[in-house]
Amino acid sequence: MKPVLLLSDLHLADERANSAGAFHAFAAGPARAAGAVYILGDLFDSWIGDDQLREPFAANIVQALRGIADAGVVLSIARGNRDFLLGEEFARATGATLLAEQAVADLGGVATLLTHGDELCTDDHAYQRYREWMRDPVHRRRLLRLPYRLRRRIAAWMRTRSRSETARKPESILDVNAAAVEEALRRHRVTRIIHGHTHRPARHELVVDGVRCERIVLADWNGRGHYLEIGDEGLRNVDIDG
């Protein structure tokens, strides 16, 4: 069986050349030999609408994604909190399928819940309120109608605000809530969840209703790339240099 590769929180941006380099190495190499590639959100550090496709940096990344899909690899991309505005035009340009917020996929014979994971951070009430507002299609449409340059300024302002708020919030409320994780596993009747968002890569074991379950948190990219490979020999974390 060809391996399944999962990655998240690449936060690709013009000013992060090493991460972009690692991504291009990934797209030209291991990704093309995979059976499926899942990008679980925050591929881009910011996405302000599919008209961002005309930016040279974004166009390069999209071309690399297209190369993966054209190699016959099933490419699936979840929206993260930074790139929740990824839309149909982006999907068409890349040949990727945009995943629902929570999606179940059979990965190496194990039904696995895939999500970016920010919806599980329910202890961060201020963030969840913001998230609810942004999820409203009316708010999204209104946002997307604003001129491109204005959206870019808003996104920059939101990134600065998010950084300062995250810095002042206690560590504990920025992680997933245990009850929210259990509830998600129960609702989808799965024993494994893979997510990103928290930038706390780990493999956690937990017991839900007497059943052993597993929660895998993918690593964020910080100058170096990372992906999780699920293959015949089990799970393996792989680093990619930019």
Binding site for Mn ion (CB under 5 A): 42, 80-81, 197
CB of 73 or CB of 193, closer to Mn ion: 193
User: At its nearest, how many Å lie between Mn ion and the CB of residue 105?
Assistant: 20
How far apart, in Å, are the Cα atoms of 133 and each of 138, 151, 203?
A: 9, 17, 32
Residues with Cβ within 8 Å of 96's Cβ and at least 6 positions away in sequence, in order, are: 39, 65, 69, 75, 76, 77, 90
Per DSSP, the three-state class of 178 is helix
Q: How many CA atoms lie within 13 A of 127 on its CB side?
A: 23
User: At its nearest, how many Å lie between Mn ion and the CB of residue 78?
Assistant: 10
Nearest to 42 by CA among 83, 90, 98: 83
User: At its nearest, how many Å lie between Mn ion and the CB of residue 47?
Assistant: 12
CB of 80 or CB of 225, closer to Mn ion: 80
User: At its nearest, how many Å lie between Mn ion and the CB of residue 83?
Assistant: 9
Contact by Cβ (8 Å): 71, 65: no
User: At its nearest, how many Å lie between Mn ion and the CB of residue 178?
Assistant: 19
Cα-Cα end-to-end distance for the chain: 28
CB of 190 or CB of 218, closer to Mn ion: 218
CB of 71 or CB of 134, closer to Mn ion: 134
